[in-house]
Structures are given as structure tokens and as C-alpha cells.
Amino acid sequence: MDLQSVNSSAISAVGYDESTQQMKIRFKQGKVYDFCRVPKHIFQSLMSASSKGTYYNDHIRDKYQC
């Protein structure tokens, strides 16, 4: 899965595989987290959010565990 760099103070890159609904997020501090069964609209909303860190905290964090 390719990761796309994003403009965020907390997140450095995001990847998404539509066929498996897996998402990968790399944070600025270097940690990478995998998320499973992530609907495509969640990924798209994260990528278009003005604050990706806030969107992550509100809609992704502690959800979609693998």
C-alpha cells in the first residue's frame, strides 16, 4: 500500500486499499497504525479534512481495529 504525504501537524502520511478496506496512518513521531474495515468515505473525509488530527481523533481513533 502506497502512503500519500499529507499536510498535517500530527499525521505525515495516509494509505488506503479500497479492495480490503485497510487504512494505514503514519504519524509525525514515526509510529504507523493499521486500521481495518474502514469505509471509503472515512478515508476520503480524512484526506479532505482541514484538520486531519481532529478528524482522526473524532472519527477513527479507537475504531476500526484489525
The SS3 call for residue 34 is strand
**Per-residue pLDDT at 45:** 98
The SS3 call for residue 17 is strand
Spatial contact of 32 and 46, defined as CB atoms under 8 Å apart:
no
* pTM score: 0.93
**Per-residue pLDDT at 39:** 98
**Per-residue pLDDT at 27:** 97
Identify the CA nearest to 12 among candidates 24, 57, 36, 21: 24
**Per-residue pLDDT at 33:** 97
CA 57, 34, 14, 22 torsion: positive or negative?
A: negative
| Residue ranges in the chain modelled with pLDDT below 50 | none
Spatial contact of 46 and 14, defined as CB atoms under 8 Å apart:
yes
